[in-house]
Structure formats: C-alpha cells, structure tokens
Copies of this chain bind each other. A is one copy, B any other.
Amino acid sequence: MTDVSTETDQPTPPGLTQRDLDRALAAIAAAIGEDKVATDGEALADFRDPYQFPGSETNLPSGVASPSTVEDVQAIVRLANEHRIPVWPIGRGKNNGYGGAAPQVRGSLMVSFRNMNRVLEINEELGYAIVEPGVSWFDLHDAINAGGHNLAASIVDIGWGGVVSNTLDHGMSYMPYSLDQASHCGFEVVLPSGELLRTGSGAMDSNPAWPLYKRGLGPTSTELFMQSNFGIVTKMGYWLMPKPQIYMPLWLQLWDDSQMPAVVDALRGLMLDGTINMRPQIVNTLCVASMLTARADWYDGSGAMPDSIIDKIAKDLGIGRWMMRFALYGDESVVDHNFAKLKERFESIPTATVTGEKHGPDAWETLPNPGERVQIGVPSMDLYKMAGWSGGDEGGHVDFSPVVPMTSKAVKAAQELFSSMCNDAGFDYIMGMLPINARSAAMVNMIPFNTHDEVQVEAAYAHAKHMVATAGKLGYGEYRAHLSFMDLAADQYGFNDHAQRRFNETIKDTLDPNGIIAPGKSGIWGTRFRRAGFPHQ
C-alpha cells in the first residue's frame, strides 16, 4: 500500500478524521494484502467521473481496494463496518454518462473487481456461465471462444464494461435473452454483515439448478441486489444462447421524422407476436452522427442544432432521420419468413426501408460493421465515440433515461416533451430508444457538452435535472440514474408518500445498520447518513 501519510489532500469520509481513515485502510490492507489497497493518484484516476468540469468533483474516493477472493470482500466489508468507512463496489470501472466510476460519497473506499475476473464455469449443454464481478464482455467472449463452445453471450455496445456490473444496473444488451434484462440466474452476495448469501436455488448446497432456475423455495431476493446497496454481488449465473443457424442483422432507415411513432407501433406488434425477439436500438440522426463525426463538422452556432442542418446530416451521411438496428436469429426458413413479414410491415410506413443480410456462424466474428458484431455477441470498442460530439477529446455527456409505453401515442408525447425541453435549454436532441420488452422502452436522452466549458457543463447538468423532475411529475421514471441526480430520480417514485423509499430504507437499516455499502445508491441512504444530513443534493 502507498504510504497514505504522504497524501496531503486525501478525501476523508463523513465523520472520519484522516487518522481514522488511515487506520481503516491499514486494517484492510493488513487483512487482504498491502498490494491490494492503493491510495495514490494514479490508482484513483480511474474512479472519478470523466465528464465533470475538471477540478469541480467533490465525490472523490479515498482509496481503492482490489480483492481477489470472496474472503477478501468479506474482510473488507467487516472492517468497513468496524471503521465506519463507506465502500463503493465497481465492476470494471466505467458507467460513463451516469456519473462514471466515482462513488456517491466523498472519501469512500472503492472496491474494484478488476482482479476478480474469472469465468468460473461455462456449461455448453445447459447454456450458462458463472462469472466473477470483474469479468468484462471481452473476457466472457474470449472464454467462450477459447472453450470452442457453440454459445453466444448477449453483450453491450462497448466491450470494456463488466458483465455483472452492467447486469446489476439493469443494463441493456441486445440478444434474445436480454429482453426484460432476464439473462442472469442466481447471485452470490456478500451481505453488509460480511455473511455470504446465495440467491435462488443456490441457497441449497450442491443444488445444480443455481444457474438454471431463478427461484428456490420461498421469496426470491435476487432482484433486491440490483441497482441496490443491500450487498455486494460476488458471483452470477449468466445464460448463454446456442448459436443459431442464421444471424441476420437488419437496418431500418426512416427519412420522415414524423413517422417515427408509427415505427414504434409496428415494432410493438412484431415483438408481441415474437417475430422480432431481441432488443432493437432506435436512434435519431444526431445520435448516429455523434458516433461518426463531431458537431463542429456541421454547425458552429450555439443553441440546439436547427432542423435543416439535421436534415442535411441525415442526407449527407445517408443515415435518415431515424435508424433502427435490429436482427433475426434462427433457422433459415424461419428467418426468411420473419424478414419478409417485418419488411412488409415496416415499409408500409412512408419513407421507411429495411435491409439486411444473412450470415452463418463462420462470418460473425469478422463482420465489418461493429454494430452488427455486437448483436451476435462479438465485443469491440469501435462504438465508443459518441462522447466527442461537443468538445472532441474534452467532450462528455449526461444521460436521462425515462421509461415509456411502447405505443405511438406515448412515444410521440414523450419526444415532443423531451425535444422541446432540449431546444429550450439550447442542447441538441440526441436520443436512442431501447425497448425493454415488447411493452415498454427506455428513451435515452444524451446531453452532450464540452467538459472544459464550465458554463456548458453546468447548463447540461441543470437541464438534465430539470428533465428528471418535469418528466417525473408526468409519470416517466428513469430506468437508471446519473450519480449527480440519483436522489432526484428516486424522489420521483412517490407513490403513497414515497412508500418505496421508506421500504428500501427499512431494509437498508436492517441489513446494513452502519450504512457502509454504497451509500446513496439509487437514492437509498442508511439512517447514519440521513442523520448526518445526506442527501446533500
């Protein structure tokens, strides 16, 4: 461990002196190994929000512990309780657009899982993997390929993220099992007491159904540990799909902006009847353009980009006003039937076209378009470009992601609200819609800014918060919230005088009486922090 006494401005957690903190970190280092605890600037550089105005961050960690075993995690949690130091678990250390890999409370100890990145088992016959919390999408893909398994994993756009951390945050991948975010089966959890719990069928010793059946006997606690601070997940079952005979990536382009709600109605019907059985991604012109170009290539005015420029981008880049990336999987004759059916349905909408090509398994790893590789489980970093839209290398974004019903009426109303709010606030309307299932979708609004422009940064955060509060009053809830307005987003869930918050706080205080696990996660604070005046937002 770096000698913490040489640090002059180390952030300390609320209620702890520098000496308390030193003792806590020393005790943890003594328990799990000096080499697994670091407090130097280089080690901590990864655990801050890269999209904040430089120097403005207050939620800096005091150190990072990198356990390599479940016993290490248990030791960290027990000592964190003893020393009252908050810990903030992080899988692979990203979460960009939602506050980054930073803790909510200044001075927290990061618990980084980069050294717990083993794929513990892959079962080809039953189609599952059991993974540690530091396994990245790349790691999982590599393990499947290394074993020569006839399986594919549903993954996200950017391969460096963590399988467990993304799952725990209700993150959305694209293949069939990802609908309703239902790919996981069974957790192992270190409770705030340090005790080990296995959920579902894992609650029975030697039960082979742990990664096969999501429940056991009695109430199931699995979902209680997602977007949660009730425990730290140390193992997870993840279902893998047998490779289909045919994978057919598809692209829908729509040139008339006003027809987008009609696409939603068609899509709902095709998802409800099972023709489309995966998660499409429906993005507007600026969302695609932000992956390929910079804003300054098109426009240097302030305020939201005029519609005429968006039209020009749509044409010049050949994008259209909306683009939907989606796919079919299955036996060739079924894929052919479904393709003909969906093409006819979508192309009955004025200005919509659908194209795509069929591929057998040999072609998937090397498809030229990374968006087409993603939908069959081949990860890359090629889609990590959006942040540069405003500000290039200094660009950033905050995301606002409410859930809406999958009807043309609901999507039209939501778009009118969100786009007019963006226009009023002077921000481009960059939207990507991800169906959660056939019935509901998250509308991810990305608000881009130059992180080195303090006024723009402040305006972006203020705009995002205004959207959260305005949308909340109308019954739109966020599926995932940015650290900077997690409390505000949770505040919108106000049924019966915030019954859910009171319920969560009751569980929190029971399981974690010192409130040391991820205080503030999803707006849940233990009594100790509430008494100390949190949340501060």
Contacts and interface: CB of A to CB of B under 8 A. Distances in A.
Given A272-B127, A331-B337, A507-B507, A490 B180 contact: no
Given A213-B403, A477-B217, A191 B503 contact: yes
B197 A503 contact: yes
Given A182-B180, A219-B228, A203 B495 contact: yes
Interface in A221-269: 221-228, 230, 239, 241-242, 244, 268-269
22 contacts: A126-B268, A127-B272, A170-B215, A196-B496, A197-B496, A197-B500, A197-B503, A201-B403, A202-B495, A206-B474, A208-B405, A212-B437, A215-B226, A217-B479, A217-B492, A217-B493, A218-B500, A219-B227, A220-B226, A224-B224, A242-B273, A507-B510
Contacts of A180: 182, 214
Given A212-B436, A218-B493, 18 more contacts: A126-B406, A127-B438, A196-B499, A197-B503, A198-B495, A204-B492, A208-B405, A208-B475, A213-B437, A217-B489, A218-B524, A219-B223, A219-B228, A220-B223, A221-B224, A242-B273, A333-B333, A334-B334
A467 to B, nearest CB: 15
A350 interface: no
Contacts of A195: 496, 499, 502
A216 interface: yes
Most buried by B among A125, A268, A277, A410: A125
Contacts of A269: 242
A495 B209 CA distance: 13
A221 to B, nearest CB: 6
Contacts of A331: 273, 275, 337, 341
Contact of A224 (B125, B219, B481, B490): B219
Contacts of A479: 213, 215, 217
Nearest to A126: B439
A52 to B, nearest CB: 22
Interface of A: 125-128, 170, 176, 180-182, 191, 195-199, 201-209, 211-228, 230, 239, 241-242, 244, 268-269, 272-275, 277, 330-331, 333-334, 337-338, 341, 403-407, 410, 436-440, 472, 474-481, 489-490, 492-496, 499-500, 502-504, 506-507, 510-511, 521-524
A241 B202 CA distance: 32
A514 B11 CA distance: 44
A100 B31 CA distance: 53
Contact of A490 (B170, B218, B273, B489): B218
Contacts of A221: 223-224, 500, 503
Q: A-B pairs with the 9 shortest C-beta distances?
A: A218-B522, A203-B500, A206-B475, A219-B228, A212-B440, A220-B223, A212-B439, A203-B493, A213-B440
Nearest to A500: B203
Contacts of A214: 180
A502 B511 CA distance: 11
